[in-house]
Amino acid sequence: MCSSDLLNYAAGALDPVGYHAVNIALHMLTAVLLLVIARRATRSLPLAMAIAAAWAVHPLTTDAVNYVSQRTELLMAACALGTLWAAIRAHDAARPGPRVALAWTLCALGMGCKESMVVVPVLVVAFDYALLHTDWRAQWAQRRVLYGGLAATWLILAGVARGARSLSAGFAAHDADALTYLR
């Protein structure tokens, strides 16, 4: 059980209203983060709004709001988009250190939520290369501390995957090791 579930339980026991309210808040947070990221990527507010709105109402993402068991999806999505947002803000900042630390923290928290967070460090590098830099060497020289910290969060994911083998529906239900599950 994650800490948000414990807080929900403390506030309202098993009343589903509180759980759904938190899920809706997390979903709205991710939609806003996507809006901000899409605005930076496209430099068009109307296009960014359309992207965020389409994502916010798409059935694949709204299912997570309806089911309390999907809280990990919402938390992972918020951490993934928060990591990308912090990395973008670090690029734009005169003093990037606090934003780099925020990106590391959000990435680490996301790795503890869901295995699909594994793509986020690569996503940050790809976003940087596609939209912020034109020269890979200059990009690496400027952002290697950020990239190294994000890559280090894979160790958290490896530890979670190893320790949660008997608890995770993904690993336990299929009686598969991590490599088989990844495939």
Percent of the chain exceeding pLDDT 90 equals: 44
Radius of gyration of the chain, Cα coordinates, nearest whole angstrom: 18
| 16-41 pLDDT tens trace | 677 778 888 888 999 999 999 999 99
Which of 4, 10, 34 minimizes the C-alpha distance to 22?
4
Percent of the chain exceeding pLDDT 70 equals: 75
Q: How many CB atoms lie within 10 A of CB 2?
A: 12
Give the pair of three-digit tokens for residue 74. 């919402």
- Name the H helices within the chain: 3-12, 16-42, 45-57, 59-66, 71-92, 97-113, 120-127, 136-163, 169-174, 178-182
pLDDT score recorded for residue 166:
46
| 101-136 pLDDT tens trace | 999 999 999 998 888 899 999 999 999 888 877 788
Please report the DSSP string for 71-90 in residue order: HHHHHHHHHHHHHHHHHHHH
Whole-number Å distance between alpha carbons of 158 and 28 = 29
